[in-house]
Chain A
């Protein structure tokens, strides 16, 4: 089975701190994603990556950046944490059998990091 592991289940940080959320997948998937999940808003895509060192903005990239130096690892960075970034953060990965995106492939999610910014 695919395993997507997020480094922390719960994290508490202070306003203005630089925060790193780490995600590792063990299935050699090309694609990795970061979402945040808030009550009443569903999941919203922050950033995704098709390949090492590649990144694309999702719907809500402001205040975030990402890093993909190795295929199995995708990091989400909150440059200067603010209270409105308190949320559940979910990482996912998927396989691409050919070139580019493929809507026929399921995404595999980690269990999330519940981040609180005080």
Chain B
């Protein structure tokens, strides 16, 4: 299964944009790119997902490289509540019920 690579940790100032990168150089044509986040003492929470085109929702934006070998989760204005571990995951269209979580990026938001 295709794997993802993320930085272990990142910091951002409150109310500034945050760009969380993810590399997935072995992505296949049927892999969706999903992002989840996990706040302390909670289960993972779905953030956004996409296949080829950039995606926006109320939580974030997802920018997908043209070759799909990398993507970036964009939080437009970081708040203290955005401090969490962010996971980038590939899910195959046809076998997509299996999630492969790595260790994610721990985001610290500085007041």
User: Using a CB–CB distance below 8 Å, which chain A residues touch chain B?
Assistant: 4, 31, 33, 35, 40-45, 48, 50, 58, 90, 92, 94, 100-112
Contact = CB atoms under 8 A, between A and B. Distances in A.
Given A42-B104, A111-B42, A102 B96 contact: yes
B17 to A, nearest CB: 24
B96 A101 contact: yes
Given A90-B43, A107-B46, A110-B43, A101 B95 contact: yes
Contacts of B42: 111-112
Contact of A42 (B41, B97, B103): B103
A110 B101 CA distance: 16
Interface string B9-42: 0000000000000000000001110101000011
B92 interface: yes
Given A31-B97, A92-B43, 6 more contacts: A42-B102, A43-B44, A92-B44, A104-B93, A105-B96, A108-B46
A103 B103 contact: no
A103 B91 contact: yes
Chain B interface SS verdict (over half): loop
B19 to A, nearest CB: 22
Nearest to A100: B94
A112 B43 contact: yes
Contact of A40 (B30, B36, B98, B103): B103
A4 B43 CA distance: 10
Given A103-B31, A106-B34, A109-B44, A43 B101 contact: yes
Nearest to A2: B46
A80 to B, nearest CB: 26
A109 B43 contact: yes
A32 to B, nearest CB: 10
Contacts of B46: 106-108
A95 to B, nearest CB: 11
